[in-house]
């Protein structure tokens, strides 16, 4: 078990209630917890951050950015000139909807931004962002959207929480049933029917769900391994469906017995 001493939460998202998240973490984890903004993260990199984010944009889901060494892409300068990242101050940089960023590329950039004294196992860094992130899967040779990218640092994506897990099968079944009957139904109408089991970008439940994904990153640092749990009611369950996310993080919103004991031991040490 890695008994780390410091937990830093970088608040780059505009969608969640950070006071609520910090209150939850302070009451759950026995360590020094520090809230940080983009200014701390970007401190020495403000002039470069626009270019760095632009390099992590995934323009083709079948092209592995890191393997193809995006850093040497000579056309990136022209791309940035026309890119939306250029139009906003770096410290307030927000992603455009539906733009996807390479999670490992972002992780590499953030890792370089963290100062040397805070890069030991004693220090855990978690970034909460609205950027839509994806990682390349070697097996089917394409990108897949992520809710969280675990590592150093870990990245939790609020947009990924809405976009990465699929809506319930019944949502698609009903949609195609209406289509087959020649009935016109809007996506908004369908969403209102399924509102208890699907997530939206302005969903007030996002704050509580982010707490669970932050805990996945915390457990990754405690266990020094992927922490996913088989118990569907545990916040460490690796949900692939939106109703599973709501089940684990909203209806139950806690740890299973086994992981509760791990956290209790961590807090006692
Ligand atoms: Zn568990």
In a domain, 174, yes or no: no
How far away, in angstroms, is 143 Cα from ligand 1 center? 27
Query: Is 55 a member of any domain?
Result: yes
Predicted pLDDT at 222: 97
Token pair recorded at residue 110: 């953030």
Asked if residue 158 is part of any domain, the answer here is yes
Question: From the CA of 94, how far away is ligand 1's center (Å)?
Answer: 33
Tell whether 32 is covered by a domain: yes
Note down the domain range covering 90.
6-165+197-268
Collapsing DSSP to helix, strand or coil, 124 comes out as: strand
Q: What share of the chain is helix, strand, coil (3-state, %, to 5)?
A: 45, 15, 40
CA of 262 to the centre of ligand 1 (A): 10
Residue 3 Cα to ligand 1 midpoint, Å, equals: 19
* CATH at residue 95: 3.40.390.10
Going from the Cα of 128 to the center of ligand 1, the distance in angstroms, rounded, reads 22
In a domain? residue 74: yes
End-to-end CA distance of the chain: 10
- DSSP state at residue 39: H
- The verdict on residue 255 lying in a domain is yes
CA of 24 to the centre of ligand 1 (A): 18
Pairing of the two strands 148-149 and 154-157: antiparallel
pLDDT string in tens for the chain (269-residue length): 999 999 999 999 999 999 999 999 999 999 999 999 998 988 877 778 888 888 899 988 888 877 765 545 444 454 554 455 555 555 455 556 678 999 999 999 999 999 889 999 999 999 999 999 999 999 999 999 999 999 999 999 999 999 999 988 888 888 888 888 888 888 888 888 888 889 999 999 999 999 999 999 999 999 999 999 999 999 999 999 999 999 999 999 999 999 999 999 999 98
Q: What is the pLDDT of residue 86?
A: 55
Alpha carbon of 30 to ligand 1 centroid (Å): 19
The pLDDT, as a whole number, for residue 33 is 98
Distance between Cα 249 and ligand 1 center (Å)? 12
Q: Pairing between strand 142-146 and 132-137?
A: antiparallel
What's the rounded Cα separation, in Å, for the pair 221 and 123?
9
- What domain count does the chain have? 1
Q: Is residue 178 part of a domain?
A: no
DSSP for 46-100, please give it. Answer: TTTHHHHHHHTB-S-TTS-TTTTTGGG-TTHHHHHHHSGGGGS-GGG--PPTT-E
In the three-class reduction of DSSP (H, G, I as helix; E, B as strand; rest coil), residue 154 is classed as: strand
Q: What is the pLDDT of residue 71?
A: 47
Is 142 within a domain? Answer: yes
Output the CA 259–ligand 1 centroid distance in Å.
Answer: 5
Cβ neighbours, 10 Å, residue 58: 23
Dig out the tokens for 88 from the structure: 């906003």
CA of 171 to the centre of ligand 1 (A): 28
């Amino acid at each position: 078990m890695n008994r780390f001493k410091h937990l830093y939460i970088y608040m780059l998202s505009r969608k969640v209630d950070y006071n609520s998240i910090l209150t939850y973490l302070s009451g759950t984890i026995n360590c020094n917890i520090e809230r940080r903004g983009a200014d701390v993260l970007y401190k020495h990199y403000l002039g470069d951050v626009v270019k760095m984010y632009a390099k992590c944009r995934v323009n083709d889901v079948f092209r592995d950015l890191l393997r193809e060494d995006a850093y040497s892409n000579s056309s990136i300068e022209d791309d940035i000139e026309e890119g939306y990242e250029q139009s906003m101050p770096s410290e307030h940089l927000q992603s455009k909807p539906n733009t996807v960023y390479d999670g490992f590329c972002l992780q590499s950039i953030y890792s370089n931004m963290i100062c040397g004294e805070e890069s030991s196992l004693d220090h855990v860094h978690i970034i909460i962002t609205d950027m839509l992130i994806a990682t390349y899967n070697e097996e089917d040779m394409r990108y897949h959207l992520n809710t969280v990218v675990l590592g150093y640092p870990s990245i939790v994506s609020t947009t990924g929480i809405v976009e990465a897990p699929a809506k319930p099968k019944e949502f698609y079944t009903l949609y195609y049933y209406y289509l087959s009957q020649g009935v016109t139904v809007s996506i908004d109408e369908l969403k209102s029917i399924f509102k208890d089991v699907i997530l939206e970008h302005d969903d007030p439940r996002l704050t509580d769900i982010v707490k669970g994904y932050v805990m996945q990153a915390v457990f990754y640092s405690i266990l020094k391994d992927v922490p996913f749990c088989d118990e569907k009611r545990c916040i460490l369950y690796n949900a692939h469906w939106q109703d599973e996310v709501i089940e684990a993080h909203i209806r139950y919103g806690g740890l299973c017995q086994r992981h509760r004991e791990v956290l209790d031991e961590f807090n006692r040490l």
